[in-house]
Amino acid sequence: MSRFMYKCALLCGFFVLISHAQFADAKGNGEGFIDEPPPGPERNVQQQPPPPPQRTKRRRKAKNPFKKWYDRERKSWFSLSIGGGVNVYKGEYYDEFGSFTDTSITHGIVGATGHLWLQKDLAIDLGIDGHFVTDYDTGDGYFHASVRPGLRLRFLYLFYATAGLDFLLGRPKNAFVFGVYMGGGIRIPVSDRLRLWAGFNVHFYPGLGFAPPVHGKLGMEVVF
């Protein structure tokens, strides 16, 4: 009996060793029971979404009400000005009491000027004006023309400066007179293609020998 009990004990121990070895092998291969490691400190920390970027407040520049008209003109290459005005002349007169100097409006002017824009602020001008003059000595009226090629520079959205040559044609005593002019003015946009302008030019005629007259004119400009 003791020998039988001894054999049973050996057999049970053998089966226990075999089952324990199989269980250890399955655990090493990831089979069987899954023993997850305890959560570490990094697992307990919940990841927070990054904070949204803070927008810096930018100081807004004051809107220029004429900028959109100026941007429209930058795409144009030709415009036409039409207007009229007066000639202000400072002259020296003689009568029985002697000589005196007088500044007066001598005649009216009407004309047109084309502007060929080379870039946004620089243009080639070609103007033709008609002058309606009354001779104070004789009381007779006559007409003469002037042709003015020149350049125009635009600045500060509204203002312009101009200068060029001036050729007088058809005067009674001087059929052709050469001169130069310079001046400036302001242009105010009223629509997408229409501008109102006011300007003046000072003209110098070396061949005539009198004081430089000033031509003041008003008109409108059409942008094409």
Top mean-pLDDT range of 68-82, 151-165, 169-183? 151-165
pLDDT exceeds 80 at position 99: no
Please name which of 106, 69, 66, 68 lies closest in space to residue 89, comparing C-alpha atoms. Answer: 106
pLDDT exceeds 80 at position 203: yes
C-alpha span between 156 and 40 (Å, rounded): 69
Query: What phi, psi does 216 have (nearest 5°)?
Result: -105, 130
Please name which of 177, 158, 200, 172 lies closest in space to residue 70, comparing C-alpha atoms. Answer: 158
Query: What phi, psi does 183 have (nearest 5°)?
Result: -175, -165
Report pTM. 0.63
Please name which of 80, 88, 158 lies closest in space to residue 112, comparing C-alpha atoms. Answer: 80
Which pLDDT band holds residue 122 (cuts at 50, 70, 90)? very high
CB 100 within 8 A of CB 92: yes
Higher pLDDT, 29 or 133: 133
**Annotation: CATH topology of 67-223:** Porin (2.40.160)
Q: In this structure, what token pair is assigned to residue 188?
A: 């105010």
SS3 138: coil
Average pLDDT, the chain: 79
Q: In this structure, what token pair is assigned to residue 54?
A: 């803070």
Residue 164, pLDDT score: 97
Which pLDDT band holds residue 128 (cuts at 50, 70, 90)? very high
Q: Which residues contact residue 9 at a Cβ distance below 8 angstroms, ignoring those fewer than 6 apart?
A: none
pLDDT exceeds 80 at position 135: no
The pLDDT tens digits of the residues spanning 5-64 come to 666 666 666 666 666 655 555 555 555 445 555 555 555 556 677 777 776 666 666 566
Residue 217, pLDDT score: 94
pLDDT exceeds 70 at position 158: yes
> Which stretch of 147-151, 165-169, 174-178 has the lowest confidence by average pLDDT?
174-178
